[in-house]
Structure 1
Amino acid sequence: MSAGELVFHEKQRLELCAIHALNNVLQERVFTKETADDICKRLAPQCVVNPHRSMLGTGNYDVNVIMAALQSRDLAAVWWDKRRTVDSLHIAKVQGFILNVPSRVSLGPVFFPVRRRHWLAVRQVHGQFYNLDSKLKSPACIGGDAQLRIFLGEQLSQDVAEMLLVVRRDVEEDGSWLNPDTHAANGADGTA
């Protein structure tokens, strides 16, 4: 059995890519549509039409749901400022990555000239980083740190791509997700 076969990987269903990205980055099935819907209700208890998910009830959860879900696991989501280079990441302090990227819309083998937003996860498993995009048939091995930086740089080069770092709360609080060299050069908060 190869390392790729030992990697937890949920595949795309409905518009549940946020749930799949969460479970894939955690490497276990923790969240379901029901738990995500409960988070939506907690985030907007008075709303008839919840702003954190699709009106059709098929998913399409926003970043607030992802952040609240991670907080329930004593983790944090740190928004990555794309003005920084991925070389300033202290990869060893990051548990995983959740990216929001443009995605082609298809119906079976037919692709439409429309792009939607899609959540995907990247995580290190057995010493290798994997693209755990729920739209992939299986996990795609990215490689080590250098290959990860190239992959993330390519993803973030898209105008509308965004990235969240999944870190422990103490790592979020002390900012140690930034490379120590970058941290010292730019000041305590990592800004120039």
Structure 2
Amino acid sequence: MDLIPDIFFEKQEGNLCAQHALNALLQGSYFTAVDLADIGRELDVKESIVHGRHVSGNNYDDSGYFSIQVIQQALSVWDLELIPWGSEQAVNAREEPQNELAYICHLHQHWFTLRRFAVPWRWYNLNSTQKAPTYLSETYLGLLLQQIQDEGYSIFVVRGTMPKCPADDKAALLPRPSIQEKNKACVPFSGKAYRLTDSGTSGTTNDQEEQHLAQAIEASLRDSEQQRMEDMRRKRLARFGG
């Protein structure tokens, strides 16, 4: 059974990637560009008071740019918190990334979401520049996070309690993906960073690096499956002898 038809997903529209990333995270049409602009204006006013001078454009502008402060403020309504990937609070995320709820990633004013649905083996890349959500195995999630960090992305761990959504309910009932499904799903991340003003055309792709990444993922998944079978064999021998 496929979870993708049940996942709320917005394709890139204009320069609204911050809106798309938030709605993908929350799994619904919770925010519009107008909502985020209102939050940005409020933050600019507060910063003006603190600095004793007029501040404008720090948190949003007419191009569709929204700062991390706007996104944090928007998520605070849901008691969700963003933790920087490199912080002390994110140690567990760096060690076992599959156990977190989601990640919001940013580079060159482009925001996108990686989200888990119900269980640690149901991760999806919800980048609005894609045609549809793409499945991420637990192994590939860790490799992808490492790759985009190396490419300069800012990564934020999402902590708190997500609103309930149909995709979470369905994911809890689905079986674990088979090793064949995992291998099929391992499409290398292009490494492209999209600027809001570039219409998704900036960045370059290193084909050789992507090929190496794909090979590493496939080998890791194969080794993981072999290790699992070997563990089962040892347990049978320990229990029944032979």
TM-score by length of structure 2 reads: 0.56
Assess if the C-alpha contact under 8 Å between 1:86 and 1:152 holds in 2.
no
CA distance, structure 1, for counterparts of residue 93 and residue 118 of structure 2: 22
Matched, 1:151 2:144: yes
Cα drift, residue 51 of structure 1: 1.4
Q: Give the secondary-structure state (helix, strand or coil) at the position aligned to 1:44.
A: helix
Residue 119 of structure 1 corresponds to: 111
Residue 5 of structure 1 corresponds to: 5
Aligned pair in 2 of structure 1 residues 24, 88: CA closer, same or farther (>3 Å)? Answer: same
Aligned pair in 2 of structure 1 residues 147, 50: CA closer, same or farther (>3 Å)? Answer: same
Higher strand share: 1
Instruction: Give a deviation string over 1:121-153, Cα, whole Å, max 9, x none.
Output: 00012641111001101001112x222111111
Residue 161 of structure 1 corresponds to: 153
Residue 132 of structure 1 corresponds to: 126
Cα drift, residue 82 of structure 1: 7.9
Assess if the C-alpha contact under 8 Å between 1:16 and 1:58 holds in 2.
no
Aligned pair in 2 of structure 1 residues 117, 41: CA closer, same or farther (>3 Å)? Answer: closer
Q: After superposition, where does 1:28-177 map in structure 2 within 5 Å? A: 28-45=28-45, 46=48, 47=54, 49-54=56-61, 57-81=62-86, 87-89=94-96, 91-92=98-99, 94-101=100-107, 116-125=108-117, 127=119, 128-143=122-137, 145-158=138-151, 160-168=152-160
CA distance, structure 1, for counterparts of residue 155 and residue 55 of structure 2: 30
Cα drift, residue 91 of structure 1: 3.7
Cα drift, residue 50 of structure 1: 2.5
Aligned pair in 2 of structure 1 residues 90, 154: CA closer, same or farther (>3 Å)? Answer: closer
Sequence identity percentage? 27
Query: Structure 2 counterpart of 1:98, which letter?
Result: I
The structure, 1 or 2, with the larger RCO (C-alpha pairs under 8 Å, 6+ apart) is 1
TM-score by length of structure 1 reads: 0.70
Cα drift, residue 4 of structure 1: 1.2
Assess if the C-alpha contact under 8 Å between 1:14 and 1:58 holds in 2.
no
Assess if the C-alpha contact under 8 Å between 2:40 and 2:70 holds in 1.
yes
Cα drift, residue 119 of structure 1: 0.6
Work out which of the two has the higher radius of gyration on C-alpha atoms and give 1 or 2: 2
Q: Give the secondary-structure state (helix, strand or coil) at the position aligned to 2:109.
A: strand
Aligned pair in 2 of structure 1 residues 36, 67: CA closer, same or farther (>3 Å)? Answer: same
Aligned pair in 2 of structure 1 residues 126, 95: CA closer, same or farther (>3 Å)? Answer: closer
Contiguous gaps of at least 5 residues in structure 1? 102-115, 170-192
CA distance, structure 2, for counterparts of residue 64 and residue 153 of structure 1: 24
- Say how many residue pairs are matched: 150
Assess if the C-alpha contact under 8 Å between 2:112 and 2:128 holds in 1.
yes
Query: Structure 1 counterpart of 2:58, which letter?
Result: P
RMSD: 2.4
Contiguous gaps of at least 5 residues in structure 2? 49-53, 162-242
